[in-house]
Every structure is written in C-alpha cells, then in structure tokens.
Structure 1
Amino acid sequence: MSQATPHPRVALVTGGIGGLGTEICRQLAQAGRRVIALDLASREDRVATFKDDIAGFDGAIAFEPADVSDFDGCQQLVARLEQQHGSVDILVNAAGITRDASLRKMTQQQWQELMRVNLDGVFNMCRHVVEGMTVRGFGRIVNISSVNGQTGQFGQTNYSAAKAGVHGFSMALARETARKGVTVNTVSPGYCDTPMVAAVPDEIRAQIIAGIPVGRLGSPADIARAVAFLAADDAGYLTGVNLPVNGGYFMSF
C-alpha cells in the first residue's frame, strides 16, 4: 500500500520535453505525482509542442528551464523548487545527447560535451536533491542508462562510457542512501521508436529490429512504465537495480 502523504509527491524529470521524457512525465502524473519537466528553454518549438501534449493534465505537469550541465544552476533550481513545493521526492535523469564518432576521429569537444550532459548532469541533479530526500526519509531516483552502456556500440565510446558510468554511480549512491528511505535505480532502454532511431537508414534499422527477439522497437511508454514502477512509493525494496527494457536484445544474468 502506498504511503500516505499530505501532498502529491513532486517529481523532476530532466530531458522532460523529449519523446521519452514527455511520456515519463505523463505516466508519473497518471500515478498521482506533481511533475516538473526540466529541459533547455532554447528549444522553443519543442517547449510549445510539449505544452500542447500535456494540456489535458490540468496543471499536474509543468515546465521549468534547466541546463543539467550547470552545477550551480542545478543547485539554485532545486533549492527554489523545494521551497516552492515543500520537497523534491522523485528525480528521473533522462537528459542525454549523442556525439557519435569512432575514437580515432572523436574530438575532445565531442567527448566533453557528451560527458557534461550524460554523466555530469546526473551528478549535478542527484547531488542537490539527495540531501533533502535523506532528511525527509523518502526519495526515488531513477537514472536512464542504455543497452549500449552494457554492450558497447561502434562509434559511441563516449556514450557507452557515460551510460555505463550512470549505473556505477547509481549503485554507489544506492548504498549511501539505502537506510534513509531513498532508492536509486537505473533503467537501460534498448532501441526505441524515437527521432534518433528514425534517422537511421532503413536497412540498418531493419537489421536492428531483426536482432530484437520481440520483433519491434520499444516505445517511450515501455520505458516510462519501468520508470514509474521504480518510482512508486511501495518500491522501497528495490535499490541499486538496473532494469533493462530492450525486448530481449541483450540478456544477462
């Protein structure tokens, strides 16, 4: 049974206006959470589309501009939201970018830009929410990794390293917070029906799908369902877990 709370749990979702982020926001709101989508305000067209997509949620989902690569900016944001809402109870780190190139051709800028968002961003947000969560005795942190963090991928030494690092970070933080009522878990999506995969040439995409045992790409809803499961009040005995959602594309014990 879910723990009683005087107000809806407040959930922050970084990368919240992307296809995956928007669906995570929707499913958390459907679970009764007060959701705040965090993303770059410079993407005005995407912000407008996001606001149209969530119009039916009667204010349960809001947008706040944020740059997860900015440590001080994340600190100020979290402090303001905690003051405004009383707490930040759930954090989903879904912000991520790609800067693909083989290592022989990868520039230092491509490496550093990706790390600042995909790995530093996880640190920046977790660092500033974890104190309040442990003091209050409740928290759910879900970090989005990737199947390519488990298997590696050609042209993605930066991305694979960051995504593997996300789960290593999650396991260590899970140990630090386990006795404080705060769980820290990872969801590792496989290949999903997103703009990034849609941009892949048709024959390569067909090869990818042929290698997925369930015979299709994942949907944002598949990933968001796993996030909502791990973020539930009664999921307190699951921590340090990596939950692969990949249609059987990569299986491990």
Structure 2
Amino acid sequence: MGSLSVDLTGQVALVTGATSGIGAEVARAFAASGARVFVNYPGPSCYDDAAAVVAGIEETGGSASCVEADVSREDQVDAMFAQIAQREERLDILVNNAGIAHSAPIEALTVEHFQRVMDVHLLGTFLCTRKALPLFYAQNSGRIINTASQLAYIGAPGFAHYTAAKGAILSFTRSLALEIGDREVTANCVAPGATMTPMLADVPDEVISAIRGSIPAGRLAEVDDIVGAYLFLASDAAAHFRGQCLSPNGGDAFL
C-alpha cells in the first residue's frame, strides 16, 4: 500500500469492481486506514473473489462487507444502495472503479461489445454517482473518485470503445465538480497507467513488451503504485481538489 498514511476512521466507503486488481487493493487500503468498506461485485460468479477480499480485510482487523450489483443495471444499483443504507447511517466515499476491457479494431467492433463497455464504465459511474449524491448532500460531505485511464488522453489502437468510455468519465467528472462546487463534496479522477492486474491476463506478451517499452519508467505499474492516489483523494488533504485527474503512469502521458 505504499507509505501514504491517511485516517479514514469512522468513514464508510463503497468501491465498485473491487474483486481484484486496483479495486480490491483500494478496498484493502481504505479498510487499513479505518474505513468500513463495501466490496462490490457484479454477480454470483464473482462472489467468491469478493468474499476473499472481505475475509482478507477482516483477518487484518478491518471492516468490510460484500455487496452485489452489476453497476450498468439501474435496478441493481438501487438495490445495492438500499442495502448500504440499511447497514450504515452514512456513505462518505464512492469509488467508481468497475470496468471491463475488450480489444478489437473499430471495423470489427460489434454494437454489443461497444455498448457493454460503455455501460459498465460510463453508465455505471453515472448510476452510482446519482444514488450517492443525495446521501452526500444530506451530510454535506463526501468524496467521489472515478477511475479513468491515461489512455483517455493518448488513445490506444484496438481499444476505441474503452478509451471513449474513459474520456467520457473525465468529462462527466468535470461537469459534476462544477455542479457540486459549493458543497463539501468533491469529485476527482484517477487515471492509472498500464498496471499489472488480471485485466491484462489475456494480453499477448509481445503487446505487454511494447507497452513497457513506451513507458519512461521502464515498467508497468504494480497495483501498489496506484493506490496512493485514491487514498490521497479520499483524505482531508484533498479537500481543495475538484474535478482533477491524478495519473500515476510512469511518464507514459503528461496530463
């Protein structure tokens, strides 16, 4: 989790897409910092992974619970937030991190693949944010942290739908920050560079090597390289960050 230490004692956090990779490590880091964390997973096939994250948090003295929802489904998002409201009196941090990846050249992209990527990334971010805002307004405090990507700035062949979704999340976050600017509720993004997570499991070695070669730091990020940005944006130290994007990417893109 790196060396960054923040105090989230008494706060309640929801991390979507938290069964593995960045989401799982953010959930662990928040719990280690004192937050009670809801670990979101998209459906029954991912329950065991979510339960393992929760068990790991509890073994180290943290507090966490699993909560199911496909974030692209309005009814499931509504049910997830109803569960959270039933278990806790508040919500302090929302991390919109759920995402999927799929590669294809534009001429080979199906409408179904394009729409599914947009739905999970962008529609999911919107639906969860829309449900969280009334809770944040009522307590006049809250942190919204959206996961974008450095690829939103530089593009990537074969990932037009993914980069479009991430670019839309950046724009959504900026407009959201303008809407809520006079409240003690912040909205910001983290745009990780290429990171060694299960999302890259099916990427051929030669592609990974090419990505690595393009990064000034000479390596892909480990998840620990990314988590500090989320911890910072969740902390009191980030109170004056509004509509910003932090991009731990090893120099792959200068934002």
Give the match for residue 162 of structure 1: 165
Are residues 1:245 and 2:232 paired? no
Q: State how 1:10-159 maps to structure 2 within 5 Å.
A: 10-40=12-42, 41-159=44-162
| Conserved 8 A contact 2:27-2:37 | yes
Cα distance, 1:171 vs structure 2: 0.5
Look up the SS of the partner of 1:191 in the other structure. coil
Q: Which one-letter code corresponds to 1:38 in the other structure?
A: N
Matches of 2:148 and 2:111, distance apart in 1: 22
Contact 1:178–1:239 (CA under 8 A) maintained in structure 2: yes
C-alpha separation between the residues in 2 aligned to 1:84 and 1:215? 45
Please identify runs of 4+ aligned residues in structure 1 that moved more than 4 A: none
Partner of 1:217: 220
Which stretch of the first structure deviates more once superposed, 205-214 or 100-109?
205-214
**Alpha-carbon distance in 2 for matches of 1:202, 1:79:** 43
1: CA distance between counterparts of 2:218 and 2:29?
24
Which SS does the other structure have where 1:69 is aligned? coil
Aligned to 1:179: 182
Q: 1:85 to 1:227 in 2, by over 3 A?
A: same
What is the root-mean-square deviation in Å for CA atoms of aligned residues? 1.8
Aligned residues: 248
Q: Does structure 1 conserve the Cα–Cα contact (< 8 Å) formed by 2:40 and 2:50?
A: no
Partner of 1:192: 195
Q: How far 1:218 moved relative to its partner?
A: 0.6
Does structure 1 conserve the Cα–Cα contact (< 8 Å) formed by 2:189 and 2:246?
A: yes
Aligned counterparts of 1:170 and 1:187: Cα–Cα separation in 2: 11
The Cα of 1:31 is off from its aligned counterpart by 1.7
Do the aligned residues in 2 keep the contact of 1:24 with 1:221 (CA within 8 Å)? no
Residues 19, 53 of structure 2: 8 Å contact kept: yes
- 1:8 corresponds in structure 2 to 10
Q: Secondary structure at the match of 2:158?
A: coil
Question: How far apart, in 2, do the equivalents of 1:244 and 1:147 lie?
Answer: 7
Whether the 8 Å CA contact 2:174–2:244 is kept in 1: the answer is: yes
Which whole-Å CA distance do the structure 2 matches of 1:188 and 1:87 have between them? 27
In 2, Cα distance between equivalents of 1:93 and 1:170: 11
Q: CA deviation at 1:198?
A: 4.1
SS in 1 for 2:189: strand
1:38-79 CA deviation, whole Å, 9 max, x = no partner?
A: 112322442354344334233512211111011122123213
* SS of structure 2 residue aligned to 1:104: helix
Q: Which residue of 2 aligns with 1:206?
A: 209
Question: Helix, strand or coil: the match of 2:220?
Answer: coil
- What is the TM-score normalised by the length of structure 1? 0.92
SS of equivalent to 1:100: coil
Deviations 1:92-116 (A, max 9, x none): 0110011221110111100111111
- Structure 2 Cα separation of the partners of residues 45 and 140 of structure 1: 28
Query: How has the CA–CA distance of structure 1 residues 145 and 181 changed in structure 2, closer, same or farther, with 3 Å as cutoff?
Result: same
Match of 2:4 in 1: none
For the Cα contact (< 8 Å) 1:146–1:189, is it kept in 2?
A: yes
**Deviation larger for 233-242 or 8-17:** 233-242
Q: In structure 1, list runs of 5 or more residues that go unmatched.
A: none
Identity within the alignment, %: 37
C-alpha distance in structure 2 between counterparts of 1:77 and 1:96, whole Å:
17
Q: C-alpha separation between the residues in 1 aligned to 2:206 and 2:102? A: 22
